[in-house]
Amino acid sequence: MPDEYLKYLQSLNDRQREAACSDIATPLMIAAGPGSGKTSTMVGRVLMLLNEGISASNILAMTFTIAAASEMRERIAKVAGKAAAKELTISTFHSFSLQLCRLHAEKLERTPEFLIYGHGQQRRAIIEAVRLSENGKSWPKHNVGMDSEESNGLTSPHHFKDASKKWLKFVTQAKASGKTPAEYSKMGNEIGAEILGNYNDILKSCNALDYHDLISCSVKLLMDFPEVLKESQDSWKAIVIDEFQDTSAMQYSLLRILASHNHITIVGDDDQSIFSFNGADISGFDSFRKDFPIYKEIRLNKNYRSTRYIVEAASCVIKNNKNRCQLKNVDTDNSSGSKIVIKECHNEDAQCAFVVDKILETTSNQSNVKCSFGNIAILYRRQVSGKVFQTAFRERKIPFNVHGVAVYRKKVVRAIIAMLRTTLPGCDDGSYRRVFKALLPFEKEEKKKVIDYIDKISTARKFSFISAAGEIFSAKVSGNLKRPQLTQGRKVLLTLEMISKLVHREQSISAVITSVANMVPQKYLLEQRAIVDVDGGKLLNEDNDMRSVLQYLLDDISDFLSTHFAAAEGEREVVEGDKGCLNLLKAFIDYISERESENFRSRRHDNETSVTLTTIHQSKGLEWDIVFIIKVNECEIPLLHEFNGSAKENGASIEEERRLLYVAMTRARTKLFILYVLTDSNWQMLQPSRFLREIPNHLREEQADIKKQDLQSKHHDISKGTTGLSADLRPNIRPSEEDVVQNDFHPSKIDEASTELTEFVEANFGTGFLKRFCVDER
Ligand code: ATP
Ligand code: MG
């Protein structure tokens, strides 16, 4: 065995080493708690497979996020060398299946250029499916591929929108579990069967697959086509899967079929299963036991990541879950560390101020235990809770990076991607329509008129959108369009031609994207507020302008190239040149569709020098010295309404919410802050999360918010009708939350009784407003 391998395996503890080195022909399950070195052991397992003579190109490693995939490749490269790491296939389920489906597209009744429908397009197709089933009428086909917000006035009635939410969830679950319309029909769910059937037909007619289809179609390919199965089984002689608890039933089927050779290793922790809304199903562990009966199971129980207080507090929380299939006694040899700080804040601004102060304190040179920005993370349930931090960090010059993919949901970015897509064969009408919307330099109404006209001709003549546009702007059927509209339309077509030439010339894709982005008119950027309102890490770190959007895309290309080709900095250009720009562009667009559909998944954890802002879902598998979990309130964790699809509180959904807090708490190495707020931005009183009561007193240090007294006295005085509103507050102008807190209701200003003013408050803020000041004694 090479020295490097030996050294790595020696760095593992006995159990970890036993797992990594166990017989490769025996299926292996590593079940263990957070921070116990599961991922580290998995790296060891890959080294063993290589050592046993399985070629790197025959090893398939599955992870759940692009970030995790590239991190694993880097870790393996360090020990086994770049060449071996490059040969390995380290993939997410999405990109693995996408590749298989593209390769055999015709067997799925698609062309290899099929589209991948994201959330918006899926919803649109659902609305259409519901409509078809309810009244047999259909919208024109070309509208299906558009996002719901881009429906050009064809907005469906509310009825369909409401129904679509419900049915989208239904279809998602149907696809995750692999049920067909016929199966629903057998179960007596005729309507479900019909809608699922309609939906599938619509996607087929649009040459599209959705995110879940990619998995089920891969399974179908392997089950129905023996030659595909043989080819795949020959290719993948060993399979390892991290974060196994997040696999859906369908993904599990895929693994089971591929792993007929028994060279399979699964690694996971049922307590960290937090993707059930995406079909994740922890019964996969049981299925594994059943399907691979001679498996070996190894438990790891030493936490290497966190201090004792953190490990114990997290265990105290998770032990309240009843539905746990693998009871684990997680222990640690690490020092106790400091107690978990439970911080009460009177509102979100106060919460933010607290975090900012703490960060500046611990990163300053005066700090006893100086910590770098890169070792700090802020975790939250919903992206929106992180917004206020972005502003504050910018003001206080704290470098930060936001994990998230919201940037691909921005219309400007979608427009750039659509422009790129037009250069690929089989480009869809939706992309062309988006390009026209971005490039026509008219006001909205006029733009709509031109696009409607193209749609009209396209429907009437049964042309594609772009052919209709071609006819119109070459003046064959100019109809009632005005001269400037025709001229601009022609310019759009010319621009598309230019882009196509750009791509076909030998250019790097970075250069193509830069040029294409520069073609988006300023007017459109302004219209979309892209230059002030762009989500996603570096965009908000830098000037809020097009340059940052571009920077984000270019960074992503470098992530993409390194993930897909494991190329070092110097090799990238060679790879680009070698493969030809068009092929790379195709692959890049697929990659983006994955980023888009990853919903909660993160970009590469590459920013070592800045504070990370991320949702808890994105933080999986990662770790930081100092972690702040913010807004740990009822209605956030647990979040029990339509946000996570669980309309009402039930045992299972509460347990999933508890797991979410557990994942968050176990990201911290040395210091954990859990914060909650007393009021939200609408002045609604909020309760701290019920889960906080599960952390025993001896592990926690509570910090109250002195401002709470202000809130109470406010309530007291207002309820007596002694409120004194500032004279600046003009009727009908609702004050900002900050104004209300800092000025109008400050106790020093509450000095005169006035029924009139109470009436004014009620008229302007609603009768419930005063009641909200009823602060509970805690
Ligand atoms: P999670 O469940 O959060 O994904 P995990 O079980 O995959 O966690 P790792 O990320 O592999 O855990 O390891 C957690 C930390 O512990 C890492 O910093 C890793 O380097 C360290 N670690 C793992 N095993 C050992 C060991 N045997 N000795 C020292 N440090 C270790
Ligand atoms: Mg891990």
CA pair distance 209, 117, nearest whole angstrom: 6
Which residue's CA lies nearest to atom 15 of ligand 1?
305
- Highest mean pLDDT out of 514-518, 570-574, 750-754: 514-518
Pocket test for ligand 1, best of 36, 300, 304 (most atoms within 8 A of CB): 304
Containing 598, the helix (H) or strand (E) segment is none
**What pLDDT digit, counting tens, does each position of 220-244 carry?**
999 999 999 999 999 999 999 999 9
**What pLDDT digit, counting tens, does each position of 700-721 carry?**
998 888 766 555 554 444 333 3
**What pLDDT digit, counting tens, does each position of 249-289 carry?**
889 999 999 998 879 999 999 999 888 777 777 788 999 99
**What pLDDT digit, counting tens, does each position of 284-331 carry?**
899 999 999 999 999 998 999 999 999 999 999 999 998 887 677 788
Please tell me the predicted confidence (pLDDT) of residue 14: 95
Looking at the CA of residue 304, tell me the nearest atom of ligand 1: 16
User: Is 39 known to sit in a ligand binding site?
Assistant: yes
Please tell me the predicted confidence (pLDDT) of residue 136: 58
Please tell me the predicted confidence (pLDDT) of residue 611: 92
Predicted confidence band of residue 645 (pLDDT cuts 50, 70, 90): very low
**What pLDDT digit, counting tens, does each position of 169-207 carry?**
888 888 877 788 999 999 999 999 999 999 999 999 888
Pocket test for ligand 1, best of 21, 79, 305, 617 (most atoms within 8 A of CB): 305
Please tell me the predicted confidence (pLDDT) of residue 47: 94
Please tell me the predicted confidence (pLDDT) of residue 606: 44
Query: Nearest ligand to the C-alpha of residue 37?
Result: 1
CA pair distance 143, 164, nearest whole angstrom: 16
Q: What does the radius of gyration of the chain's CA atoms come to, in whole angstroms?
A: 28
Predicted confidence band of residue 404 (pLDDT cuts 50, 70, 90): low
Mean pLDDT of 4-19: 95
3-class secondary structure, 639: coil
Please tell me the predicted confidence (pLDDT) of residue 442: 84
CA of 621 to the centre of ligand 2 (A): 4
Please tell me the predicted confidence (pLDDT) of residue 123: 81
Q: For the chain, what is the mean pLDDT?
A: 78
Please tell me the predicted confidence (pLDDT) of residue 690: 95
CA of 137 to the centre of ligand 2 (A): 49
Which residue's CA lies nearest to atom 18 of ligand 1?
305
State the DSSP string of 179-241: --HHHHHHTT-HHHHHHHHHHHHHHHHTTEEEHHHHHHHHHHHHHH-HHHHHHHHHH-SEEEE
**What pLDDT digit, counting tens, does each position of 58-114 carry?**
999 998 776 677 778 888 988 988 888 888 998 888 889 988 998 999 999 998 878
| pLDDT > 70 in the chain, percent | 74
Please tell me the predicted confidence (pLDDT) of residue 758: 45
CA of 568 to the centre of ligand 1 (A): 26
Please tell me the predicted confidence (pLDDT) of residue 754: 33
- Identity at 629, one-letter amino acid code: I
Which residue's CA lies nearest to atom 30 of ligand 1?
304
**What pLDDT digit, counting tens, does each position of 481-510 carry?**
888 888 888 888 888 888 888 887 766 777
User: Is 537 known to sit in a ligand binding site?
Assistant: no
User: Is 32 known to sit in a ligand binding site?
Assistant: yes
Specify whether the CB–CB gap between 379 and 627 falls below 8 A: yes
**What pLDDT digit, counting tens, does each position of 736-762 carry?**
333 333 323 222 222 233 344 444 444
Predicted confidence band of residue 152 (pLDDT cuts 50, 70, 90): very low
- Asked whether residue 380 carries a pLDDT value surpassing 90, the answer given is yes
CA of 548 to the centre of ligand 2 (A): 32
Pocket test for ligand 1, best of 40, 266, 375 (most atoms within 8 A of CB): 40
Please tell me the predicted confidence (pLDDT) of residue 715: 46
User: Is 178 known to sit in a ligand binding site?
Assistant: no
User: Is 35 known to sit in a ligand binding site?
Assistant: yes
CA dihedral 335, 338, 342, 346 (to 10 degrees): -150
User: Is 33 known to sit in a ligand binding site?
Assistant: yes
pTM score of the predicted model: 0.73
Ligand 1 is surrounded, with C-beta below 6 A, by 12-13, 16, 32, 34-40, 269, 272, 304-305, 621, 623
Point out the least confidently predicted range of 397-401, 455-459, 548-552: 548-552
Distance of CA 772 to the CA centre of its chain: 34
Please tell me the predicted confidence (pLDDT) of residue 627: 98
Q: Between vectors from CA 600 to CA 596 and to CA 603, what angle results, nearest 5°?
A: 70
Please tell me the predicted confidence (pLDDT) of residue 295: 93
Please tell me the predicted confidence (pLDDT) of residue 363: 92
Looking at the CA of residue 13, tell me the nearest atom of ligand 1: 27
- Asked whether residue 647 carries a pLDDT value surpassing 50, the answer given is no
Please tell me the predicted confidence (pLDDT) of residue 379: 96
